[in-house]
Amino acid sequence: MRFPDALNCRIAILITAAMMAVPVAALAENDPKNDPRVIPPPAAQKKLPEAPSKLPKVGADRARGLDFLFGALKAAPDEASAKHVEARIWAQWMQTPSDTAALLMLRAKAAMDAQKTDVALKLLDAVVKLRPDYIEGWNRRATVYYLKNDYVHSLEDIRQVLAREPRHFGALAGLGMIMQEYGDEKHALEAFRQALAVNPRLEKIPDPKNGGKENPQRHLLRKRANAKCFQSNRDSPKG
């Protein structure tokens, strides 16, 4: 199944808007911490959607499996069913034919768990260089950059992820969270809408008015996002 060109176009526009929203000083220094307008949230509150610690085994037909799983994710009747399908999608994304890349990813995860972000970053640099076609190498590195408050490089890696997999709800949610950091609620909502269109039960959508903590009224944001999604689908010309 090919993803609609219209969605690819919307994501490209969203990424462009995101890059333009980054403060000029941050672009110059490649470090948002150097810009006095950027107030990073406490590290303990910075959390992106990520793969579960335990993942199911995946089948051989990866592309066909993902198409089926994304359909099942949208149709999931309850939270438990959605979590099961979501874990299978993460398992597909995490799979790599390179034993070396897989080992580097494990070591990077251990470094991140130990809050050794600089070590994790070096390991993920090696993953991306070794397997530039491996989506989760880019996505995991985007997460590390985000945790380091380096939103410029995080956005660049998110762009690499979405160029290869526009349905990556984790990267889309991360894009929205970066937009929230810069106070761009319009594009943050658009990114979350895209993520929720793929994964309607996606969690870890934060509330910027609640100190960056997970929004206790997340269903309201989901309702707004899904309403916009419904409106865009209704207004689309019938093929």
Least confident of 9-18, 54-63, 69-78: 54-63
Averaged pLDDT score across all residues of the chain: 75
pLDDT at residue 207, rounded to an integer? 45
pLDDT in tens, 24-48: 334 334 444 444 333 344 444 456 6
Residue 137 to residue 191: CA distance in whole angstroms: 21
pLDDT in tens, 109-160: 999 999 999 999 999 999 999 999 999 999 999 999 999 999 999 999 999 9
Q: Model-level pTM greater than 0.85?
A: no
Could you tell me what percent of the chain has a pLDDT over 70? Answer: 58
C-alpha of 19 from chain center: 15
152 or 236: whose pLDDT is higher? 152
pLDDT at residue 232, rounded to an integer? 41
pLDDT in tens, 68-77: 999 999 999 9
Q: Supply the DSSP string of the chain, one letter for each residue.
A: -PPPHHHHHHHHHHHHHHHHHS-HHHHHHT-GGG-TT--PPPGGG-------SS-----S-HHHHHHHHHHHHHH--SHHHHHHHHHHHHHHHH--S-HHHHHHHHHHHHHHHTT-HHHHHHHHHHHHHH-TT-HHHHHHHHHHHHHTT-HHHHHHHHHHHHHH-TT-HHHHHHHHHHHHHTT-HHHHHHHHHHHHHH-TT----B-GGGTTPBPTTHHHHHHHHHHHHHHHHHHSPP-
Residue with tokens 């970066």: 178
pLDDT at residue 184, rounded to an integer? 87
